[in-house]
């Protein structure tokens, strides 16, 4: 089975039946259900804000969302752990200087070269108190957290050896970022319709 990784936005599209992508996504889910591809999602998706701008109360809520999307469950990949972001028991350790941490830093640099890697450094550069900003869910904290979620989603894809990272987020497709991510091990970064064509092959 071809291992592919769904960006969190695709889960939202499947749930909302977004017209622009739903046909291709439904086809991919059918391929997953018949074991022609293996869809994986990063557990960091549980830490993304929901449409009502709240967060999942626990990881079980995210698991329930994922389970409802297919007949054969999507594989959930554990990211590196971060206090105030990841859910307990759904992360792995990757301290400074480890290969896991080094890969994360390289992905961060490829995606967000203008953003400080560590929250404390970003908070200082933004002129906010890092503890108060987290407690108040400030705009600065949300910005850094969202970017960390993107980094860890790609980290999961590369670390767990995915063949295609599937996303409609143009940020991952930018010409200044995509080649660097591929060189780090992403292999391919595709829109849902491109994966359908790839799996279907020539007629």
> Domain total for the chain?
1
Q: Which domain holds residue 131?
A: 2-200
Q: What is the pTM of this model?
A: 0.93
CATH number at residue 111: 3.40.50
Q: Which pLDDT tens digit goes with each residue over 126-185? A: 999 999 999 988 999 999 999 999 999 999 999 999 999 999 999 999 999 999 999 999
Cβ proximity of 107 and 151 under 8 Å: yes
Six-digit token pair at 62?
């995210």
Q: Is 46 left (phi over 0), alpha (psi -120 to 50) or beta?
A: alpha
Residues of the chain with pLDDT under 70: 18-21, 200-203
pLDDT of residue 195: 85
């Amino acid at each position: 089975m071809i291992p592919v990784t769904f960006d969190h936005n695709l889960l939202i599209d499947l749930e909302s039946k977004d017209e622009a992508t739903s046909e291709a996504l439904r086809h991919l889910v059918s391929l997953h259900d018949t074991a022609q591809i293996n869809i994986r999602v990063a557990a960091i998706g549980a830490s993304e804000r929901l449409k009502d701008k709240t967060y999942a109360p626990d990881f079980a809520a995210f698991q329930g969302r994922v389970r409802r999307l297919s007949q054969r469950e999507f594989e959930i990949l554990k990211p590196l752990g971060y206090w105030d972001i990841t859910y307990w028991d759904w992360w792995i350790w990757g301290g400074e200087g480890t290969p896991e941490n080094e890969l994360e830093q390289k992905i961060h640099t490829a995606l967000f070269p203008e953003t400080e890697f560590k929250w404390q450094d970003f908070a200082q550069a933004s002129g906010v108190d890092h503890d108060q900003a987290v407690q108040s869910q400030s705009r600065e904290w949300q910005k850094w957290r969202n970017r960390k979620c993107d980094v860890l989603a790609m980290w999961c894809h590369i670390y767990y050896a995915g063949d295609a990272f599937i996303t409609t987020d143009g940020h991952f497709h930018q010409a200044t970022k995509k080649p660097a991510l591929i060189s780090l091990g992403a292999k391919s970064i595709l829109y849902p319709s491109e994966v359908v064509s790839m799996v279907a092959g020539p007629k």
